[in-house]
């Protein structure tokens, strides 16, 4: 089994060795570096703890408005969702998007219950979590199901708010996700199919890691750790570049690939394990990949998206007029990624705040268990 450090991440890495900033961006870059330097002098836990403090009245108000806007008279649960590889109005794309409005809603209700313990929030949350556990049939397409992390979050944050039957149903549903994705990665790996090494598999890993941790199942956790280790080895190069960049020529997909791995590392840190810097078989690490992306995120470098993508569907989405599939990459797309990364290493706090001063409000924090 690979060795995982339990000590804080150091500050000596390639993130401080990025290319010199462009002249028009030098002032902003210097300010960001100064903020990062100040933050790096604080204890490692400071930023993570600050990001996980009880939400302000304004933040809770925004959560309440989001819930009121999206809560429907009945759960939207359906047996299957599918948007991956399809365009709007194709197949069940529209029905899936509508149904999936329930997924972040469950997380938001859990966060509201955590803040105020309102019985109505608990009732609505139980209603949604029961419906999805009873009706939805996972098909283990990680792109379609990646946002089910919100279901797992809701279980961890507000499990005690659920009635006993719903809690048991939810735990069984989460175990189905964990077992299914782990079995896929352990016995279904296809070395010639990039979907078993690129962002698809990063999302499999995230769901397996979160599910194992939510259930506090040490056996599942060990298997999920091995899956994370294997994905880092296959996906991240020694210089920090990723397979997804090679395939898609798009920083959009670098972010989409790294977000689930950083989320998994956050959960591992909550269990006393350090995954951010872990390397395997000469690979890079998640930290190396973040450092590779950093000069694009802070504006030192620019990139024209999807110019040399090997995936024909990218051109179809561009031709259909979907935004983000041509033109320069917009660094705001990495806000959530670097906000999460900053909870693991404070050197990323500067760029997270540069992208959005309120970036910490995007984080989902699990209570100590």
Q: Is the pLDDT of residue 158 over 50?
A: yes
One of 1.25.40.10, 1.50.10.100, 1.20.58.340, 3.30.70.370 is the CATH number of 196-369, namely: 1.50.10.100
CB 159 within 8 A of CB 179: no
Question: What are the start-end ranges of the H helices in the chain?
Answer: 26-40, 45-51, 57-70, 93-99, 102-116, 119-135, 142-145, 149-158, 164-187, 199-215, 218-235, 243-248, 251-270, 286-297, 312-319, 335-342, 349-355
How confident is residue 27, by pLDDT bands cut at 50, 70 and 90? very low
pTM of the predicted model over 0.85: yes
pLDDT tens figures, 308-324: 999 999 999 999 999 99
In angstroms, what CA-CA distances link 45 with 49, 104, 206, 355, 362?
Answer: 6, 27, 23, 21, 18
CB 157 within 8 A of CB 107: yes
In 3D space, the residue among 283, 288, 261 whose CA is nearest the CA of residue 200 turns out to be 261
Q: How confident is the model at residue 15 (pLDDT cuts 50, 70, 90)?
A: very low
For residues 331 and 297, the answer to whether their CB atoms sit within 8 Å is yes
The full length of the chain comes to 369
Confidence of residue 48 (pLDDT cuts 50, 70, 90): low
Please answer whether residues 260 and 235 qualify as being in contact, where contact means their C-beta atoms are separated by less than 8 angstroms.
no
Residue 227 has a pLDDT of 98
Nearest Cα to Cα of residue 82 among 71, 94, 93: 93
pLDDT at residue number 369: 83
Cα-to-chain-centroid distance, residue 85:
20
Percent of the chain with pLDDT over 70: 86
Confidence of residue 360 (pLDDT cuts 50, 70, 90): confident
pLDDT band at 29 (very low <50, low <70, confident <90, very high): very low
| DSSP secondary structure code for residue 8 in this structure | P
Mean pLDDT (the chain) is: 88
- pLDDT (0 to 100) of residue 207: 98
Cα 45 from Cα 54, distance rounded (Å): 16
Cβ atoms 40, 261 nearer than 8 A? no
Tell me: the pLDDT tens digits for 68-85? 999 999 999 999 999 999
More confident residue, 71 or 36: 71
Tens digit of pLDDT for each residue in 342-359? 999 999 999 999 999 988
- Which H/E stretch holds residue 148? none
Q: What are 106-152's pLDDT values in tens digits? A: 999 999 999 999 999 999 999 999 999 999 999 999 999 999 999 99
Contacts of 195 (CB under 8 A, 6+ apart): 201
Q: What are 210's two structure tokens?
A: 């979160």
Residue 248's pLDDT is: 97
pLDDT for 49 equals 54
DSSP code, position 303: -
Question: What ranges do the domains of the chain cover?
Answer: 56-188, 196-369
Whether 352 contacts 32, CB under 8 Å? no
Which residue shows structure tokens 């029961």? 130
């Amino acid at each position: 089994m690979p060795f995982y450090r339990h000590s804080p991440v150091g500050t000596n890495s390639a993130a401080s060795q990025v290319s010199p900033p462009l002249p028009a961006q030098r002032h902003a870059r210097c300010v960001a570096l100064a903020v990062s330097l100040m933050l790096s002098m604080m204890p490692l836990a400071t930023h993570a703890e600050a990001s996980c403090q009880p939400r302000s009245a304004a933040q809770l108000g925004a959560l309440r408005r989001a819930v009121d806007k999206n809560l429907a008279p009945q759960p939207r649960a359906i047996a299957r969702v599918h948007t991956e590889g399809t365009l709007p109005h194709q197949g069940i794309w529209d029905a899936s998007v509508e149904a999936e409005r329930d997924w972040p809603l469950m997380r938001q209700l859990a966060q509201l219950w955590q803040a105020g313990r309102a019985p109505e929030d608990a009732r609505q949350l139980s209603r949604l979590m029961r419906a999805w556990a009873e009706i939805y049939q996972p098909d283990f397409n990680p792109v379609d199901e990646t946002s089910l992390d919100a279901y797992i979050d809701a279980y961890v944050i507000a499990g005690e708010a659920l009635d006993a039957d719903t809690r048991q149903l939810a735990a069984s549903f989460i175990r189905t996700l964990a077992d299914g994705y782990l079995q896929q990665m352990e016995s279904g790996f296809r070395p010639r199919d990039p979907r078993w090494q690129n962002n698809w598999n990063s999302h499999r890993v995230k769901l397996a890691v979160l599910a194992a941790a939510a259930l506090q199942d040490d056996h599942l956790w060990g298997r999920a750790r091995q899956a994370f280790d294997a994905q880092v080895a296959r996906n991240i190069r020694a210089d920090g570049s990723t397979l997804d960049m090679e395939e898609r020529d798009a920083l959009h997909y670098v972010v989409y690939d790294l977000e689930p791995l950083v989320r998994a590392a956050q959960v591992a840190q909550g269990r006393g394990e350090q995954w951010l810097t872990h390397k395997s078989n000469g690979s890079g690490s998640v930290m190396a990949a973040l450092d590779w992306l950093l000069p694009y995120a802070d504006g030192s470098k620019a990139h024209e998206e999807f110019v040399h993508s090997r995936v024909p569907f990218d051109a179809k989405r561009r031709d259909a007029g979907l935004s983000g599939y041509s033109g320069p990459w917009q660094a705001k797309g990495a806000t959530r990624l670097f906000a999460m990364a900053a909870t693991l290493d404070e050197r990323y706090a500067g760029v997270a705040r540069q992208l959005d001063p309120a970036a910490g409000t995007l984080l989902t924090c699990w209570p100590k268990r």
